[in-house]
Structure 1
Amino acid sequence: MYTRKNQRDLTRTEKRRLVDAILKIKRSGRYDDFVVMHREYYVMDTENRSRPAHMTPSFFPWHRRYLLEFERALQAVDPGVSVPYWDWTQDRSTTSSLWAEDFLGGNGRPGDRRVMTGPFAYDAGNWKVGTGITDQNWLTRNFGRPGRDPVSLPTADDVARALKDPVYDTEPWNSVSTEGFRNRIEGWGIHRVRPVANHNRVHQWVGGPMAGAASPEDPVFWLHHSFIDLLWDRWRKAHPKAAYVPGRKPDAPGRERRHVFGLDDPMPPWNVTPRALLDHSKVYRYA
């Protein structure tokens, strides 16, 4: 078993090893495969096909397995590496440690929002954004989206309200579920009910590829989702009697029957069920 640490607690050596492992799987082409996978399974609830990853109860278990697969790829390069988490309720500044020159690099420059610092800057020669993701090949960021429509990072109170919800998810099991921990954290905005929140709001705050289906193009994606995974862990500990729902696919003839994954329905592309991903304690822990 290994430990996932808060990114602010990483040593200089731990940061270097993580960055080196990411760059190595990028050079091998494996990193781009992860981006393609996320784009493939980023299915909107307006589409007439299965959606295991987003706008769905299986949001948490699908991303847990996805993160584990990425972590295993890193550990094949360096067995001592794990994916740290970014607690954006604490590290809220554009100058927080994760944006340092020796870690993820900083914000994009004015104008084209091109990231110019850190190991993932295009000019460093190691990071080329995939074809069809942006008009350019470089990583972009737009912290806080300044201008007419600025966005702020979620607060500790935002997360606390989600953690208090004793129900995992509710019908209609998609982006318009107004109750339930899953959508309170995933954060789809519901017209006239609440704005985009938590998980989704962080994606918007970072900007660039993080704001779309190709979000893993920015390595901060993994640190963000490590924290999302930790929040699921905290919720389950706070509500030990609360179950993953739906326990089985919704009854026919409901539209969601073919698109939503029950507790024992295998999720693509790994053919693993949500039940198999409820407990991570034998694999990793959070510091």
Structure 2
Amino acid sequence: MHRVLCLVIALVAMTPPCDLQLPSLMGQPQIMDSMRLANILMERPVDGPSIRKECRMLNSTDFQKIVDAINRAKLDTRVRPNVHDAYSYLHAHPEVNKGAHGGPAFLPYHRVFIFLYEKLLRIYDRTISLCYWDTTVEPENMLWSSAWTPELFGNVQGQVTTGFARNWITPINPLERAGAVQGRPMNDEDVKVVLSKSRLGEISMPAASVNANVELMHNFVHTYVGGIMGQVETAAYDPIFWFHHTYIDCLYERFRDQQKKLGVQPMRDWPAEHGDSAHAPFAPMRLGSLRNIDGAQEFFSKEIVRCEPLPACTEDSQCGTYLRCDKARRKCISDTMRPPEQAGGVWSSVDNIVGSFWRNRLASINNPLTGSSFGLGSLFQQPEMFRFSSSG
């Protein structure tokens, strides 16, 4: 008995009191901690504008600086369970995100949310700006995209074991993805339709037409990545969430530019038909003391958001290391992982057939008239993995 007791004591002595890589031992986010963190970020000074480029157009040093800051936030345990997940939890909590989805506050809310996240990263490196993930350059076959290489976002199917977020543990599970099971990337036609509109209500729930609804397009990208990214309660724990939403915010800025050219003032353009009262212009955003309308302030356009578009290309060298030039469209695209033997010749005809089949399948999956895809109950079309306790 004495020997057994000694062995147990020795094992306890060698075991760390809390291994943050084990989800069962990982401290859970607490909403009051997360709210305090948001308030602290709100009060921090603005370190200049956010110069946003497509992530694949950055040189390796600049991209590494961003992901190093993200990993430093993930390892910083001054807030439970760590700074990254404590802030991400705000997107998950049903009392905080009431105005974040399902109405015209979607774009202004996420504008502020991204702004504060960038402030968070600048705690670790004041020189960085978030980059964006432009899904309009993604190929038909998800696995052909350079986005999912170890040098960028890591694998898109199964537990994430490559890339800068490899082996991450989130407050609920190891980070995992289920790419290309549902959803779709955005495309050029989506952007064209959005920019053809002039009023926020024309691109927002509840009144926007299906083909102009930015939130719906954004939902499809969440489900396209799938896994933790595929549901509203957990999406922000996957770091690709932030690159996706940075792109959505850049699209919002382009839309605002179009409005101003047409004589529409974005700050005065809140739709009367805004659905739930949480989407009223002066409803609380629940980020600091802001109201929904504050996310539409001209301050962001004048002082913060600087989105650099991808170049209209004529040769591959204009598209950086990870993209190539589709000369017919003069557009940088991301099918650079496509096997060489599957390019050209007979394969192109087969590929067109397969691509057509896949587009039809996605169209049926994403039919917005079906209850599972419009996403008012489970916004990103995935089953709930957990529920919040009343004390969370």
Q: How does 1:182-221 map to 2 (within 5 A)?
A: 184-187=213-216, 198-213=217-232, 214-221=234-241
* Partner of residue 284, structure 1: 305
Q: Which residue does the alignment assign to 1:138?
A: 174
Q: How does 1:132-281 map to 2 (within 5 A)?
A: 137-145=173-181, 150-169=182-201, 174=205, 176-179=206-209, 184-187=213-216, 198-213=217-232, 214-240=234-260, 241-244=263-266, 256=276, 258-262=277-281, 264-278=282-296, 279=298, 280=300, 281=302
Q: Tell me which residue corresponds to 1:25.
A: 73
Q: In structure 1, how many angstroms separate the alpha carbons of the residues matched to 2:188 and 2:269?
A: 30
Distance in 2 separating the partners of 1:255 and 1:286: 30
8 Å Cα contact 2:133-2:244 kept in structure 1: yes
Trace 1:115-130 onto structure 2 (pairs within 5 A): 115-122=160-167, 127-130=168-171
Change (3 A) 1:248 1:106: closer
Find the counterpart in structure 1 of residue 103 from structure 2. Answer: 56
Deviation at 1:36, TM superposition (A): 1.2
Aligned length: 247
Which consecutive unaligned segments of at least 5 residues does structure 2 have? 1-48, 77-81, 309-392
Q: Distance in 1 between matches of 2:70 and 2:275?
A: 40
Residue segments in structure 1 that go unaligned for 5+ positions in a row: 44-49, 132-136, 188-197
Aligned-partner SS, 2:178: coil
* Cα distance, 1:167–1:284 mapped onto 2, change above 3 Å: closer
Give 1:266 deviation, angstroms.
3.9
Query: What amino acid maps onto 2:126 in structure 1?
Result: P
Q: Percent same amino acid among aligned pairs?
A: 26
Partners of 1:33 and 1:166 in 2: CA distance: 36
Please tell me whether the aligned partners of residues 55 and 132 of structure 2 are also in contact (alpha carbons under 8 angstroms).
Answer: yes
Q: Structure 1 residues 55 and 90 mapped into 2: Cα distance closer, same or farther (>3 Å)?
A: same
For 1:239, what is the secondary structure of its paired residue? helix
Structure 2 length normalisation: TM-score? 0.57
Q: Deviations over 1:55-102 (max 9, x none)?
A: 111111110111011101111101121110111001344343332212
| Match in the other structure for 1:77 | 124
Decide whether the 8 Å contact of 1:261 with 1:267 is kept in 2.
no
Question: Is the contact between residue 248 and residue 265 of structure 1 (CA under 8 Å) also seen in structure 2?
Answer: no
Residue 275 of structure 1: CA displacement?
A: 4.1
What amino acid does structure 2 have at the position aligned with 1:210?
A: M
- Tell me the CA shift for residue 203 of structure 1: 0.4
1:14 paired residue number: 62
Alpha-carbon spacing, 1:75–1:245, altered in 2? closer, same or farther (3 Å): closer
For residue 304 of structure 2, what is the amino acid of its counterpart? V
**What residue is the counterpart of 1:101 in the other structure?**
150
CA contact (8 A) 1:83 1:226 kept: yes
> Aligned-pair distance for 1:273?
3.2
Say which structure is richer in helix: 2
**Closer, same or farther in 2 for the Cα pair 1:239/1:186, shift >3 Å?**
same
The residue type equivalent to 1:166 in the other structure is S
State the AA in 1 paired with 2:166. A
Change (3 A) 1:286 1:42: farther
State how far apart, in whole Å, the 2-side matches of 1:212 and 1:235 are: 26
* Greater Rg by CA: 2
Structure 1 pair 170/158, CA: closer, same or farther in 2 (3 Å)?
closer
**By how many angstroms is 1:244 displaced?**
4.8
TM-score (normalizing by structure 1): 0.77
Tell me what 1:38 maps to: 91
1:16·1:102 contact (CA, 8 Å) conserved in 2? no
Go from structure 1 to structure 2 and tell me whether the alpha carbon gap of 1:260 and 1:274 turns closer, same or farther (over 3 Å shift). closer
Note if 1:3 corresponds to 2:59.
no
Cα RMSD, aligned residues only: 2.8
Q: Classify the secondary structure of the residue corresponding to 1:3.
A: strand
How far did residue 140 of structure 1 move? Answer: 1.1
Q: 3-state DSSP class of the match of 2:123?
A: helix
| In structure 1, C-alpha distance between the alignment counterparts of 2:270 and 2:221, rounded to whole Å | 31
